[in-house]
Amino acid sequence: MKNDIQPVKMTIDGQEVLVKPELTILQAAQQNGIRIPTLCHHAALSDRGGCRMCVVEVDGAPRLAASCVTPVRDGMQVVTVNERITETRRTILEFLFAERNHNCMFCPQSGDCELQDLAYELQMDHLTVPQSFHEFPVDITSDTIGLDHNRCILCGRCVRACEEISGCYVLNFQNRGPGTLIGFDLNEIREESACTSCGACLQVCPTGALYNRYRTHYSVKGHPKDWQTIQTVCPLCGLLCPTVSTIRDNHLLKIEGAIPAGDEQPEGGQLCRQGRFDVLKNSGRRLLHPMVKKADGSWAEASWESALDITIDRLNAVRDAHGGNAVVGLASGLSSNEELVCFRDLMVKGWETGQIATLENSGFQNIYRIGPDKGQTFKEVSWKKIAEADFILAVGAVTHDSQPVVGSLIRKRIIRDNMRSAGIGPNDFLYPYGTHHIPLKNGDELLLIKTILSEAIKVMKKTASAPDVGKIFEQTEPVKAQDIVKKLHLDGKAQAALDEIIRDYVDSTNPLIIVAEDIAAQKNPSGLRALVNLALLKELYGNESLRLIVLKPGGNSMGAYKLLHPFDQEEQAETVPKGGLVLLEQNPFQDTPSLKIPGNLDFLAVISPYWPDSLVDCAHVLIPKPLWMETDGTCTGLDGSEIAFRQKMLDAPAEINPSWQTLVDLAARANVHLDYGSWDELRQKAEQEVQKEVSGEKT
């Protein structure tokens, strides 16, 4: 069909071009390599035609047209640059510079500013209008985003980014005329607004009005000509958003979302607070040398050899005295797949331990123990399919902490496409956009799920013949809805919402269920079974995946699940750990890892990029490792099917060995030969192992 649409023939600066009829003049020019200066236009945002920087002459008309909002037309004659146009653009710039405080010499954004770049390009070497010197407020109540109204040109990019990229609708214009300001909510200060600190506004701001409170000072930033950019992915959660990080002199200056992000990725450079800001926080004192605790409890620097020797000798002693299961291994959920493979092989082959887990709560794995049916694998649907859903049921989903972008993706679907949605759980994270919300105490969600399943089956039995789900119909014990409603103290409004949720779910053709990690972690097999069966009432997504998205606590939680063979804490309860090895990572979510190291261990070695403050008391050996941003590695996505390569951004201090190397060295001392060959071969091995589990060998 599309091929039938005739291209439009037009002339731009004397050059005859053929373009698609739905384009604007600006797009047509850009496609043909003709540059038109722009300011309020941004590749990731809709166009507003507000700044008039992109004006062009159309068919010699006396009035210039804003090319970003003027559609092309057959036979159109466009002139993008002549003296009149340049003069117009320069005059607009002069007004912008004179309106507020745009003195580059005392602006920290100088050198990284689109307004300044345009002034240079259009040779604005002086102002012909007097400057206003009117004072505007500055909002630095946030520790992430600074807003200096004096630098604002009211282009509205941030307003559009807030609605189009993050779906938050927090920023908007306030007041009128020269007193117009960008405002948070109903003219709140930043800290008291509903802003989620995703930083989309700051990434698109063409001046220094919205700026990062971290690392924006001249002395840190230096000059943009010395900057280097690295395209990589953010490993802090399973969404693995593509990023562009800016480095100067081995210092990380900023992390921005990649635009365009690529197929099915969060749009427009979307990131979250953690990925954009928290990574810039200093997490503490770097551990630069291996340290060994002396008899008097003080720490002494040690050589790599002696630190590794002591670790192996002491852990061997623990195994000889108490057995392999007394040696426990804990790895950060941010570790790369490669680190996890080495860590597992060392722990299993070195000490025959069965106790390996992640530091983050791995309870979400409880849901995988259910499985849709015996022998089948539990394959979740990818978070990318939120884009195609027509109904989303969020069970206890509080996504602001672990996967903030998921909440944003759902919000945008609701607002743009009127997608129906429902949340059940203590707080309504979709407020005020969600269709329904049933407030529940934490822990009651699965009881309500049982009710929804039972009621949905009643409805489906009446309406559709469903041979595939007949088994579920038989399996499911009917629940008396009235009893549950009473037990959960649901009021009339919640009961009405419950009925609607059931109807919405049954009527939907492409529903998804988002499961918060604490729900998936509940030790409630019948409740989890009901959740899985509810998903199975609708056919498998793409004939292969359950309509469930299980949120995870750590960046590489899924990699850890697949690679570490987590031990069941209840089964292992009789073996009390006596010694342990901990692999830490920089964790922006929490300054001290929530470690449950049981009792007083005979020996504990910690491999960490920082001084592990919470472990210093019980540890005996500290071994340094590079940060995640200082090493290459691969991460596993939220649903376990995607593997992304995370390229290193910075060089690690020269004296620090990569952690996989440390683990291989440790293994050699334990008489275990871990031969992965090169790092690339290790990466391949890790990738195969993750993929293998996906294809269903684990039951």
Partner 1 sequence: MKKPKLATVWCEACAGCHMSFLDLDEALVDILAQVELTVSPLTDFKDYAFPQVDVGIVEGGVGNEENREVIEHLRQQCRFLIAWGDCAVFGGIHTLRNWLSKDEVLRCGYVETASTVNGIIPAHEDIPQLLDKVLPVNAVVAVDGYIPGCPPAPEALAYCLKELLAGRLPVLPADMIHFD
Q: Which residues bind partner 1 (CB under 8 A)?
A: 101, 103-107, 110-111, 116, 119-128, 130-131, 133, 135
C-alpha distances (whole Å) from 476 to each of 447, 457, 469, 566, 623 are 13, 9, 11, 30, 53
Specify the residue, 109 or 382, whose C-beta has the smaller distance to partner 1: 109
416, exposed or middle or buried, with CB in 10 Å at 0-12, 13-18, 19+?
Answer: exposed
For the CB of residue 684, give the shortest distance to partner 1 in the complex, in Å. Answer: 48
Copy the structure tokens of residue 463.
Answer: 């309406």
Give every strand in the sheet of 8-12, ordered side by side: 15-19, 8-12, 77-79, 55-58, 65-66
- The answer to whether 517 and 551 are in contact (CB under 8 A) is yes
For the CB of residue 247, give the shortest distance to partner 1 in the complex, in Å. Answer: 22
Copy the structure tokens of residue 297.
Answer: 């409890």
Please name which of 185, 181, 203 lies closest in space to residue 193, comparing C-alpha atoms: 185
The SS3 of residue 74 is coil
- The answer to whether 231 and 244 are in contact (CB under 8 A) is yes
Cα distance between residue 511 and residue 506, in whole Å: 9
C-alpha distances (whole Å) from 487 to each of 483, 484, 500, 552 are 6, 5, 20, 30
Cα distance between residue 262 and residue 637, in whole Å: 16
Specify the residue, 128 or 175, whose C-beta has the smaller distance to partner 1: 128
- The answer to whether 638 and 644 are in contact (CB under 8 A) is no
Residues found in the chain: 699
Output helix, strand, coil percentages for the chain, rounded to the nearest 5: 35, 20, 45
Cα distance between residue 348 and residue 369, in whole Å: 22
Specify the residue, 101 or 522, whose C-beta has the smaller distance to partner 1: 101
For the CB of residue 37, give the shortest distance to partner 1 in the complex, in Å. Answer: 12
C-alpha distances (whole Å) from 110 to each of 19, 47, 116, 531 are 37, 26, 7, 54
